[in-house]
Amino acid sequence: MLEASGILLVVDPRRAPSLERMLRPVHRWVWRDAHRCARKLMTFAATEADGGRDLSRAAELTGDPLLRRLFLRHALDERRHAELLRARGRTMRAGLGAGGGALEWRWLTPGERGRDDLRVEEEGDASLLAFLHLSEKVAAARFEIYRDVVADEETRAVFRRILRDEEFHMRYTRIQLERVAPERHRRALWRARAARLWKGYLRVASALAGRLGTIVLLAQYFLVLPAFALLAKRAARRERPGWSEPERRERPDALRSQY
């Protein structure tokens, strides 16, 4: 429910972004597979741990004592979340046999699962708080959906515990944003939204560029390299195992060469 002050106190699934709500059946399908579920929990644990490190760095960089204390508390929460998720993931893995080759797309660069694309050094207090507020809001909405769609009660309890902290995180980031930027907090939030969109575009673009690069390099590999590969293999056969003489480069300008 949203309070009059605009501070989200309780995460309401009906408030989750509409795209997320539309994707609920997909989430349900994703979390149905136990192997995939365990893997996802371990990935979330790593992301939360990364987020905790970013927050501790933010605490080290801010000049505002209250923010420092809050960021440190937030960092501790993230670490606790990481431990909870990891412990649950491990328990699930232990109960599963080998295998688990369920379909999973991993072609996007990491990011936006948490704060792992955040450059804390480049952010001021206001922009960081705005970014954190939006991230926490999105994460809380997602965790709310995950809590509802997971099949087992233990995993649901983990999400429930995390959600309690996320509420505090959303609340303090919003209140502190209004404190450190009383005139500019709305602008800071809009800029953070725009930055999230831009980063999303960059992630998709770099993933596509990466794929394209791989295709071009693979084409070169199979079309251009075979003849050279033959020569390289022939040369390798002539090499004796054991010690080699280092190539002597005793000319005075040896250090000028990159080769």
Residue 218 interacts with another protein (CB under 8 A): yes or no? yes
Instruction: Report, in Å, the least distance between residue 125 CB and another protein.
Output: 14
Residues 173-202 touching another protein, rule: CB under 8 A, are: 175-176
Of these, 122, 153, 183, 245, which contacts another protein (CB under 8 A)?
245
What is the token pair recorded at 209?
């560029």
Place of tokens 């002539």: 238
Residue 203 interacts with another protein (CB under 8 A): yes or no? no
Determine the 3-state secondary structure of 8 from DSSP: strand
DSSP 78-139: HHHHHHHHHHHHHHHHHTS-S---------SPS-SSSSTT--GGG--HHHHHHHHHHHHHHH
Place of tokens 């390289």: 232
Nearest residue (CB) to another protein, 16 versus 174: 174
Residue 108 interacts with another protein (CB under 8 A): yes or no? no
* DSSP state for residue 255 in the 8-state scheme: G
Residue type, 6: G
Angle, CA 189 vertex, CA 185 and CA 195 arms, to 5°: 140
Torsion sign across C-alpha atoms 145, 148, 151, 154: positive
Mark residues 16-55: x for contact with another protein by CB under 8 A, - for none.
Answer: --------------------------x------x---x--
Nearest residue (CB) to another protein, 89 versus 131: 89
Residue 254 interacts with another protein (CB under 8 A): yes or no? yes
Positions in the binding site for another protein (CB under 8 A): 42, 49, 53, 56-57, 59-60, 65-66, 68-70, 72-73, 75-76, 79, 86, 89-90, 93, 168, 171-172, 175-176, 210, 213-214, 217-218, 221-222, 225-226, 228-229, 231-233, 236, 241-246, 249, 252, 254-259
